[in-house]
Amino acid sequence: DAKTTQPNSMESNEEEPVHLPCNHSTISGTDYIHWYRQLPSQGPEYVIHGLTSNVNNRMASLAIAEDRKSSTLILHRATLRDAAVYYCILRDSSGAGSYQLTFGKGTKLSVIP
Partner 1 sequence: DAGVTQSPTHLIKTRGQQVTLRCSPKSGHDTVSWYQQALGQGPQFIFQYYEEEERQRGNFPDRFSGHQFPNYSSELNVNALLLGDSALYLCASSTGLGSYNEQFFGPGTRLTVL
Task: For the segment 12-51, give every residue that binds partner 1 (CB under 8 A).
Answer: 32, 34, 41-46, 49
Q: What b-and-e string marks burial along 32-60, b requiring 16 or more CB atoms within 10 Å of the CB?
A: ebbbbbbeeeeebeebbebeeeebeeeeb
Distance CA 80, CA 35 (A): 19
Task: For the segment 54-93, give every residue that binds partner 1 (CB under 8 A).
Answer: 85, 87, 91-93
Among 99, 82, 107, smallest CA distance to 23 is for 107
- Smaller CB separation from partner 1, 88 or 111: 88
- Least spacing, CB of residue 16 vs partner 1, in Å: 26
- Smaller CB separation from partner 1, 41 or 53: 41
Task: For the segment 94-113, give every residue that binds partner 1 (CB under 8 A).
Answer: 95, 97-106
- Least spacing, CB of residue 30 vs partner 1, in Å: 9
Side chain identity, residue 73: L
Helix, strand, or coil (residue 54):
coil
- Least spacing, CB of residue 90 vs partner 1, in Å: 10
Provide the total of helices (H) and of strands (E) in the chain, helices listed first.
0, 9
Q: Contact residues for partner 1 (CB under 8 A)? A: 32, 34, 41-46, 49, 85, 87, 91-93, 95, 97-106
